[in-house]
A and B are shown apart, each in its own frame.
Chain A
Amino acid sequence: MMMMWSVVTGLKRRSHMYGGPTHQSPFLDRICFLRSIQEGEKGNTAIFGVASPPLAAGQPTLTSSLFPRIMTKEETSAERDDMQIDRRELEHPQVSTIPRGFNADYLKLYYGKLFPHADIYRWLSYGNDGKHPACDHSYFGRREFSFTLENDIYVRFQSFNNAVDMENSIREKCPYKIDIGPVYSVDPAKRHAYSQSGNNVFAPVERELIFDIDMSDYDDVRYCCSGADVCLNCWPLMTIAIKVLDTALRDDFGFNHILWVYSGRRGVHCWVCDGRARRLSNEQRAAIADYFRVYKGGENYVKKVNLAGAVLHPFLARSYTDVLKGFFEGRLLASQNLFASTERFQKILEIIPDESIASELLDKWQGNRRSSISKEDVNVVRWEQLKHVLQSGKQKAQGLRRCVEEIIFTYTYPRLDMEVSKHMNHLLKAPFCVHPKTGRVCVPIDPNNCDSFDPTTVPTLSQLLEELNMSGMRSESEDEWERTSLGESIKFFRSSFLSPLLKSCKEEMESLYNSKVKQSKNALNW
């Protein structure tokens, strides 16, 4: 109880300091409210109800006595989308001292105690924050940050001169979402001053190569959930995407510093941070995105994957044998029940160009519902039958043999949001943000271990604060995140991504500087 109080009082002081939301007698209200949560008193919640922002009509108010919720505006609007997640949480009731979900005041606490400001700063400085004479000290200050504040107020073109500026601004404004944009030719906050000169000096000059993969783009090939929801049955689609892209980015494109991040709800983000990647032009970015593009969507196209040519390109062939085939046959076939109903296998049969084969299989499967299939999984049996028909010696036509691969590509191959990758000035949510609708932290994913990543166990804001409370105030000096389940993620970020990146940045800077020195020396001698 005491610990709880200390956290809360600290919080309130801070919010006063930075001009956070004030209530009639906020300090008292808050304490009363939190006490009421702990004691499970229903009656006292009303105290908070008075002070809380007005709720939209028709929205549920404080939901259950077990889990009293603080309804912020953000959350009320999110309610519709996230019933799924809420329900899941309700199924595993834990005795909680911190209300579930997302809340501006907890966010403040998160930015104050847990968010790794310094690491983000060091990352985005790319070695330019050091003492080396080759450092470009304006580098970090030319980076665009965008904040999404409460009530969807969107503030673009923020920039910070140093780590302290950044941290202070984040703590003060307490953004629901932080987006990272490109590095511009000039400080984006002062862009208007330069726009007078007319010669278009304000333009992006550097930007990580980014990829955004969103589960909702797979809605036609997953049957467990749709839209913003994910579960362990469809998450392997993201695992596939990570594996396929990560290997190709490293082996084909030669990139080394790649950060994968859980987007907080239904997808993953990828940041390729090598100097070479940051300096790519839009055209080159588009080329890479196209290299990865197999899936050609559009709602009016029946056949979304078309693999032409006598053989597959080495990249596609490798992705197919190493990743796609195994996941399709070993996981998705059964977990998504791809052949379990007429509607579903009909969709697969539509991909087969030879109508007689398709209708033959259709008749066969519609005819004998369960008779011949005893113990074996119906999906596996039917898939084997399909493969047998298409790949048997009788089928000379190359298009038919390719069809098996096309089906697998259709159901597994990564679907990128192309526009995000193509342009330098696209914004992307920063790692370690908290997703405002799920409360989950956007933690890094280890591509070598992505099989074991489970989006449903990613720490949530409230869980982290709870852990802080539980662990108490053992020592003030140590980083507080070490006492929470965020610790592993931050350690991973540092050891696997940040330190190798900064090491190579330093080397690059060193060699660039040396060659420059050499050049000027030569010039002098000459």
Chain B
Amino acid sequence: MEIVRSQRKPADAAVAPALSLYRSAPALEVRLEDFELYAIDRLRVLQGISDGLSRGKKPEEMEKLVSELWRAQMRHQDPSEEMNKDIISHFVLRLVYCRTEDLRKWFLSMETSLFRYRFRLESPESQRLLMSEFQLPYKAISHAEFETVKDKLNQVARSTGPSSNAETLFFKVPFEEVPELVAGRRVFMLKGFAYVAMNQVVSLVATQFRSNLSKALVLTNRKWTSTIRDKEKNRLTPIVEALSTGYLGPDYSQPKEFSEIALKDIDQLASTSFPLCMRHLFDKLRETHHLKHGGRMQLGLFLKGVGLKLEDALAFWKSEFSQKVGAERFDKEYSYSIRHNYGKEGKRTDYTPYACHKIISSTPSVGDHHGCPYRHFSEENLKAALGKMGVGGRSLDDILDKVRSRHYQVACTLTFEAVHAASCDSGINHPNQFHSLVEFDEVKRSCRKRLDGHNRRRRKPRSAAAASTASACLLPLPPASGFSMYLLTSLSPPAQPNLAGIARAEKDAREQRSFSHGYEEGEAAFCRTATEQCGVVDRPGF
């Protein structure tokens, strides 16, 4: 086991403990309980980072967020135990998140972010120590070389920010090693080499960390499928499988049965329950009878997510596009990609609707209408668009304020609240959530009262696995309904208490922002019971 301990700042007791590079799994005895609890704590940190990133927080804000999260979740009285907790939790989550491409991707980027911000919090000396730990083959450039490119280096420094005091320590590395610095034009480039300043080495180290971890995850996955999964069938496997389910956010890929929408209602729906990004695309489509690829994907998958069936989707897009390009060309050129979205062509993947962070980070180009209006609209255009939705006065100012501080999802949430005069404490994380919130609100209000009690009485115990995700569900309700904001649908206690589920519920209750996790299951359960009670659908298994 290899643990790198950096020098601690003697004065500051709150300094984060040394960073581990997680080169090899620790040879430690771990209690099964800790195995899971540590992992849950780390997951909270990673989830917090994920939320922070999708809110578009700036690096400084992220730094603060990470150090707070770390302090809240990972601290331990005993420093050596804290170090162990760090390492154990990391390796447990490796096991949890090695199993599919999506899980790996998420874990990789969150762990890298975590490492990056923890690295930034280290002192320069320990940073240098860590660098040598990576055994990077790069040496600082000589004074003579520095002199030849000094002007350019200064130019880059001045182009990126006002502050950075003249750095003289530079590393010359292949540009492939520092993609993020290249992408931001924050380094001087010459013949394939990037000149990385000492205060930028975090990118270099993070890239290295990421590529090591990426390779390790693939290896772990191989080990997991070949041996561990079966060997640990009764002990670790259930824990591992339960851990990964809770934190992926809701799955909007399968439209809910209750929320199927009909073609004739679509205009009505667009004006009441589409978030601004989709409403804008929808209006543009109606107006110009055309959308470019990015717009077709964003709106098309959203509509799929809210329950527009393939046949209706084809009819919908055709009715618009044929006015511009003719029905024949629509059939030839556009219908394929719609069928593709529904998993009927090509590699037949059922594509999922885009989440907010994907839409926010998209890069609309000329003629494009997709993207997040709060991020991609100029202020005038946003004002006009919001005005069209009937948002004005103070709420408009509040929204614009959030946009200026780059809290796009918060701005969207405020819009929701302004338009529907209801509060939404959970925040909008997915356009389809915006839609289902409204629909839920409008359509289901009437029978909610009856169902609440019903839920409590009738819910049957479920299998342990299912219970782990549904053991406690939070239903956010608008105050108008006369209920408390959060309605805890408690089910009969699961046969085997599962820590993941309970821990999650605790977290939800505490942070009151669990929409993306708890809400959907609650909603689904709610609706299943609804149909059950009304005798509409009689499905076995409930």
Q: Are A200 and B101 in contact (CB under 8 A)?
A: yes
Question: A290–B159 contact, CB under 8 A?
Answer: no
| Contact A312 to B159, CB < 8 A, known contacts A152-B332, A290-B183, A300-B377 | yes
Q: Does B27 contact A (CB under 8 A)?
A: no
Which residues does chain A contribute within 8 Å of B165, judged by CB atoms?
Answer: none
Determine whether the beta carbon of B176 is less than 8 Å from that of A280.
yes
Instruction: Please encode chain B, from 119 to 152, with 1 for each CB lying within 8 Å of some chain A CB and 0 for all others.
Output: 0000000000000000000000000000000001
Q: Could you say which of B60-68, B360-368, B403-411, B527-535 contacts chain A?
A: B360-368
Interface residue ranges of A289-348 to B (CB < 8 Å): 290-291, 293, 295-303, 309-317
Contact assessment for A297 and B152 in the assembled complex, using a CB-CB cutoff below 8 Å? no
From B155, B176, B364, B369, give the contact of A313 (CB < 8 A).
Answer: B155
- A295 surroundings in chain B (CB, below 8 A): 365
A519 to B191, CA, bound (A): 29
Contact with A311, one of B158, B191, B364, B376 (Cβ below 8 angstroms): B158
Is B156's CB under 8 angstroms from A217's CB?
Answer: no
Shortest distance from the beta carbon of B399 to any chain A beta carbon, whole Å: 16
- From B158, B161, B192, B366, A253 is in contact (CB under 8 Å) with B192
Which residues of chain A are near B377, meaning CB under 8 Å?
Answer: 298, 300-301
Distance in Å from the Cβ of A295 to the closest Cβ of chain B? 8
Contact indicator per residue, chain A 54-73, by CB within 8 Å of chain B (1) or not (0): 00100000000000000000
Whether B381 is near chain A, meaning CB under 8 Å from some CB there, is yes
Closest chain-B Cβ to A196's Cβ sits at a distance in Å of: 15
* B106 contacts A by Cβ under 8 Å: no
Q: List the B side residues contacting A314 at CB < 8 Å.
A: 152, 155-156, 188
Contact A220–B366 (Cβ < 8 Å): yes
Q: B315 an interface residue at 8 Å Cβ cutoff?
A: no
Identify the closest chain A residue to B181 (Cβ): A287
Contacts of A119 in B (CB 8 A): none
> Given the complex, which residues of A lie within 8 Å of B192, measured CB to CB?
252-255, 276
B367 close to A299 (CB less than 8 A)? yes
Report the Cα distance A385→B162, complex, angstroms. Answer: 31
Give residues of chain B (190-245) contacting chain A, Cβ–Cβ below 8 Å: 190-193, 222
User: Given that A200-B101, A300-B381, A301-B377 are contacting pairs, would A252 and B189 also be in contact in the complex, using a CB cutoff of 8 Å?
Assistant: yes
A507 within 8 A of B: no
Q: Could you tell me if A287 and B365 are in contact, using CB atoms closer than 8 angstroms?
A: no
Contacts of A218 in B (CB 8 A): 366
Is A168 part of the binding interface, using a Cβ–Cβ cutoff of 8 Å? no
Partner of B189, one of A284, A300, A315, A415: A315
Q: Which residues of B are found within 8 Å of A41, using beta-carbon distances?
A: none
Contact A290 B189 (CB under 8 A): no
Is A418 an interface residue when CB atoms closer than 8 A count as contact? yes
Whether the Cβ atoms of B189 and A299 lie closer than 8 Å is no
- With an 8 Å Cβ cutoff, the count of chain B residues facing the other chain is 44
How many residues of chain A get a CB closer than 8 Å to chain B's CBs?
46
A283 adjacent to chain B (CB < 8 Å) = yes
- Whether A354 sits at the interface, judged by CB under 8 Å, is no
Q: How far is the CB of A77 from chain B (nearest CB, A)?
A: 7
Chain B residues with Cβ under 8 A from A296's Cβ?
A: 363
Measured in the bound complex, the distance between the Cα atoms of B161 and A293 in whole Å is: 18
* Distance of A290 Cα from B181 Cα, bound (Å): 10
A418 vs B156: C-alpha distance when bound (angstroms): 24
Q: Given A251-B191, A298-B371: A309 and B365 within 8 A (CB)? A: no
Chain A neighbourhood of B364, CB < 8 A: 297-299
Which residues of A, 473-509, contact B by the 8 Å Cβ criterion? none
In contact, A286 and B183 (Cβ under 8 angstroms) = yes
Q: Which residue of B is nearest A309, CB measured?
A: B159
> Is the C-beta of B160 less than 8 angstroms from some C-beta in chain A?
yes
Are the C-beta atoms of B184 and A290 separated by less than 8 Å?
yes
A310–B162 touching, CB < 8 Å = yes
271-291 of chain A: CB within 8 A of chain B: 276, 280-281, 283-284, 286-288, 290-291
Q: Counting CB contacts under 8 A, is B175 at the interface?
A: yes
Q: Are A219 and B378 in contact (CB under 8 A)?
A: no
Report the Cα distance A255→B193, complex, angstroms.
11
Q: B327 interface residue, CB < 8 Å from A?
A: no
Contacts of B373 in A (CB 8 A): 300
**Chain A residue with minimal CB distance to B365?**
A297
Query: Within 8 Å of chain A (Cβ to Cβ): is B421?
Result: no
Contact between B376 and A283, CB atoms less than 8 A apart? no
Please, which residues of chain B bring their CB within 8 A of the CB of A301?
376-378, 381
Contact, CB under 8 Å: A251 / B179: no
Contact of B366 (CB < 8 Å), options: A199, A281, A302, A415:
A415
Residue of B nearest to A301 (CB): B378
Cα distance, A322 to B460, chains bound together (Å) = 74
CA distance A315 to B280 in the complex (A): 36
Given the interface pairs A200-B101, A252-B190, A300-B377, the reply to whether A287 lies near B182 with Cβ below 8 Å is yes
A317 to B189: give the CA distance in the assembly, Å: 13
B380 contacts the other chain (Cβ, under 8 Å)? yes
Asked if B180 CB lies within 8 Å of chain A CBs, one says yes
A500 nearest CB across to chain B (Å): 17
Known A251-B191, A252-B189, A309-B158; judge A288-B182 contact (CB<8 A): yes
14 further contact pairs, Cβ within 8 A, besides A284-B176, A284-B182, A312-B155: A252-B192, A253-B192, A254-B190, A288-B183, A291-B183, A298-B365, A298-B369, A298-B377, A299-B369, A300-B369, A310-B158, A310-B159, A314-B156, A417-B365
Which residues of A come within 8 Å of B, CB atoms? 56, 77, 152, 199-200, 217-220, 251-255, 276, 280-281, 283-284, 286-288, 290-291, 293, 295-303, 309-317, 415, 417-418
Which residues of B pack against A, CB within 8 Å? 101, 152, 155-156, 158-162, 175-176, 179-180, 182-185, 188-193, 222, 280, 328-329, 332-333, 363-369, 371, 373, 376-378, 380-382
Q: List 7 A-B contacts (CB under 8 A).
A: A251-B191, A281-B176, A287-B179, A300-B381, A301-B377, A302-B380, A311-B159
